[in-house]
Amino acid sequence: MKFVQIIDYRTERPDGMNELMDKWVEQTKGKRTATHSVIGKDRSDASHYVEIVEFPSHEEAVKNSHLPETDRIFQEMVALCDGMPSFTDLDVVRDEQLNTATARRFFHEIATGGNLDAIDEVFASDYRDHDVFKEEETVIGSDALRRDVTGWRAAFDFTFNLESQIAQGDDVVTRWTWYGTHQGAFMGVEPTGRKCTMTGTTTFRFHDGVVQEGWWHYDVLGLMRQLGAV
């Protein structure tokens, strides 16, 4: 179970705290068990800060706290703070990356399921699409995506298996495997009935909760070879 520690503190020396954090990151390379750290400043009180540190488990957090570098940095941190920092330990009971869930809607609900109306919910109207399979470097507009999905669905009966997803900032990267049966004309190749497999990655960049831009990389040559076109 993931574990999160919240550190609440006050300081008039935020630059010193940042230098201290950089020092700890450098000194604990290859040893620390913390996986993610976020520091926020109170908009109504510039001296009030909250740090959220994530660990794979409480046991890993304990290992991290026992590092001699962590103990030394903590003593220096206290010296920079106005008073003693407070600590809150939390077991993570729900962890939902909302953008990854929206990205999955494209693969399962729109592409595989055929709910093209959902495109307007998931993608911006001026969505920018970058696809290795297209002659144009960039295609703009969610209507272009709607035409693409319609074309692929006419040519193949297919499903996606989402192997992994990574979210960072506004970007969600999905690594997928596509399984299809060739049932309609595709790139000048008449239906063959062949079963095909293709791997690829898609990066969606989000803005205001919808996909603003997308980058597609997949094995087009391998697909055409399976269709007997290469």
Question: At CA 132, angle to CA 193 and CA 102, rounded to 5?
Answer: 85
Between CA 103 and CA 193 the distance in angstroms is 30
| List of residues 6+ apart from 160 with CB closer than 8 A | 107, 108, 111, 112, 176, 177, 178, 179
> What does the pLDDT read at residue 112?
97
Q: Are residues 187 and 118 in the same domain?
A: yes
pLDDT values of the chain reduced to their tens digit, one per residue, 230 residues:
889 999 999 999 999 999 988 998 898 888 889 998 999 999 999 999 999 999 999 999 999 888 888 888 889 999 999 999 999 999 998 777 889 999 999 999 999 999 999 999 999 999 999 988 777 778 889 999 999 999 999 999 999 999 999 998 899 999 999 999 999 999 889 999 999 999 999 999 999 999 999 999 999 899 999 999 87
Q: Are residues 172 and 76 in the same domain?
A: no
Residue 46's domain comprises 3-91
Q: Are residues 69 and 8 in the same domain?
A: yes
Q: How many domains does the chain have?
A: 2
End residue of a domain, out of 59, 74, 91: 91
Residue 153 neighbours by CB distance under 10 Å: 19
> What does the pLDDT read at residue 73?
86
End residue of a domain, out of 35, 63, 91: 91
> What does the pLDDT read at residue 1?
80
Q: Are residues 10 and 107 in the same domain?
A: no
> What does the pLDDT read at residue 230?
77
Dihedral of the alpha carbons of 39, 44, 48, 53, in degrees to the nearest 10:
-20
What CATH number does residue 111 fall under? 3.10.450.50
Q: Are residues 9 and 87 in the same domain?
A: yes
Between CA 223 and CA 92 the distance in angstroms is 42
Q: Are residues 141 and 207 in the same domain?
A: yes
Q: Side chain identity at 5, as an amino acid letter?
A: Q
Q: Are residues 151 and 214 in the same domain?
A: yes
Q: Are residues 181 and 103 in the same domain?
A: yes
Q: Are residues 141 and 66 in the same domain?
A: no
What CATH number does residue 77 fall under? 3.30.70.100
Coil, strand or helix: which one is 89? strand
Q: Are residues 178 and 145 in the same domain?
A: yes
Q: Are residues 136 and 201 in the same domain?
A: yes
Which residue, 155, 145, 150, is CA-closest to 180?
155
Structure tokens at 110: 């729109």
End residue of a domain, out of 91, 116, 148: 91
Q: Are residues 42 and 120 in the same domain?
A: no
